[in-house]
């Protein structure tokens, strides 16, 4: 029997900035604590993406690593688009977010082509955007606080096909100018937030889980968990921003 939730981690060997793998662990635990059976598959260059994936995570990395992954991830475009059209959630963090977009032109002028599955384009600006972020996110009618740490040279702009994941009244987010952070388009999610982002943002983790487990939940909401530790981590991160 296949698992209730199949988490697929793309390029865990290369895209793994600031413990992005913690996102997989957070999703795994939050599903298991509610009694769901979870399977995790790591997919590196040349490996096949399992056909029964529920959620695919693409972490962050350096410009050089993004260049290395480029040809492999581009070949996966149709497969990822097809999976997302069947409700598979795809989360890209930082470098992974940029790769889901149309293009990333790095500071040295190197253009790294993206998948174009998220209507966002990334260029650069002066210096890197580094620091803690306190944001306010909106997904599927829920609004909640989002905290994390960002470190990127890229400046991302949303096209009309994507909506912003969060607003950053004080932080820098996508580009340091328009006070947006991340993007959402159908089943595709992008964020600049590391930390990793999901352990300290249980509401974001559950919003993604509810989508990834939609068939199993059959319209029922996820059972609440005791999130006191997660909430303490969240508060600590918010506090450090100040």
Figure out which of the listed residues 154, 173, 195, 196 binds ligand GLN, where binding follows CB under 6 A.
154
Looking at beta carbons only, is 16 or 34 nearer to ligand GLN?
16
What lies within 8 Å, CB to CB, of 41 at 6+ separation is 6, 7, 8, 9, 50, 53
φ and ψ of 107, to 5 deg: -60, -30
Active-site option among 6, 94, 152, 234: 94
Does 63 interact with ligand GLN (rule: CB under 6 A)?
yes
Does 153 interact with ligand GLN (rule: CB under 6 A)?
yes
What is the nearest approach in angstroms of ligand GLN to the Cβ of residue 8? 19
User: In sequence order, what DSSP letters do the residues of 38-75 get, joined into one string?
Assistant: EEEEEE-TTPPPPTT-SEEEE----HHHHHHHHHHHHH
Please, which residues bridge with residue 13 across strands?
A: none
Given the rule CB under 6 A, which of 151-159, 169-177, 221-229, 233-241 is the region that contacts ligand GLN?
151-159
What lies within 8 Å, CB to CB, of 181 at 6+ separation is 133, 135, 137, 146, 164, 165, 166, 167, 168, 171, 173, 174, 191, 192, 193
Does the active-site annotation cover 94? yes
Footprint on residues 73-112 left by ligand GLN (CB under 6 A): 94-95
Active-site option among 6, 9, 194, 234: 194
What is the nearest approach in angstroms of ligand GLN to the Cβ of residue 151? 5
Active site residues: 94, 194
Residue ranges that bind ligand GLN, judged by CB under 6 A: 17, 60-63, 66, 94-95, 151-154
């Amino acid at each position: 029997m296949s698992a209730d939730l199949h988490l697929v981690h793309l390029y865990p060997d290369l895209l793994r900035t600031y413990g992005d793998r913690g996102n997989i662990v957070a999703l795994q635990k939050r599903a298991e604590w509610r009694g769901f059976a979870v399977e995790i598959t790591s997919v590196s260059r040349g490996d096949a993406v399992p056909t029964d994936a529920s959620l695919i995570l693409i972490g962050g990395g350096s410009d050089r690593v993004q260049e290395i992954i480029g040809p492999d991830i581009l070949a996966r475009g149709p497969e990822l688009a097809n999976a997302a059209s069947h409700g598979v959630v795809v989360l890209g963090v930082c470098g992974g977010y940029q790769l889901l977009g149309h293009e990333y032109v790095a500071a040295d002028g190197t253009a790294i082509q993206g998948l174009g599955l998220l209507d966002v384009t990334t260029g650069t600006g002066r210096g890197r955007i580094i620091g803690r972020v306190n944001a306010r996110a909106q997904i599927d009618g829920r609004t909640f606080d989002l905290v994390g740490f960002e470190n990127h040279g890229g400046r991302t702009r949303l096209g009309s096909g994507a909506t912003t994941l969060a607003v950053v009244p004080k932080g820098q987010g996508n580009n340091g100018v328009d006070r947006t952070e991340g993007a959402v388009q159908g089943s595709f999610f992008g964020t600049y937030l590391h930390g990793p982002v999901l352990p300290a943002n249980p509401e974001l983790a559950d919003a993604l889980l509810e989508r990834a487990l939609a068939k199993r939940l059959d319209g029922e909401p996820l059972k609440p968990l005791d999130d006191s530790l997660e909430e303490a981590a969240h508060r600590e991160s918010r506090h450090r921003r100040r």
